[in-house]
Amino acid sequence: MKNKKAKKARKPSPNRLKCQISGESRMSNKTYIANKGDKFGVTGNVWASFYVSKEALKELKLEVEAGGLDKAADIYKVDKSRVIKWLRYNGRGEFVSQDLVSA
């Protein structure tokens, strides 16, 4: 009989990015995360804590354009400052226009 070793539980990778809106995660690498953090003047861990997937970012932009930052913050149940950081850290520096007409 073959010697069966007990399977070791793998340690979760620190290079896994988790979307703050959808909860989906994806693999990345240490250099990518560090470079993204440097680009925005924060550490890689801080940048990763505001990571949003491409699909979720598209939906977020639509919400901000339709109702503004305050409405998007209410929908996602977060602070307005977090919505701003999601857009700033994950967009390509694009300006997201807001519908400022009050309903």
Q: Does 6 have pLDDT greater than 80?
A: no
Residue 98 scores a pLDDT above 80: no
The domain spans of the chain are 16-90
Position 13 scores a pLDDT of 77
33 has pLDDT over 70: yes
Q: What is the DSSP string of the chain?
A: ---PPPPPPPPPPTTEEE-TTT--EEE--HHHHHHHHHHTTS-HHHHHTT---HHHHHHHHHHHHHHHHHHHHHHHTS-HHHHHHHHHHHSSS----------
Q: What is the mean pLDDT of the chain?
A: 87
Give the confidence band of 101 by pLDDT, cuts at 50, 70, 90: very low
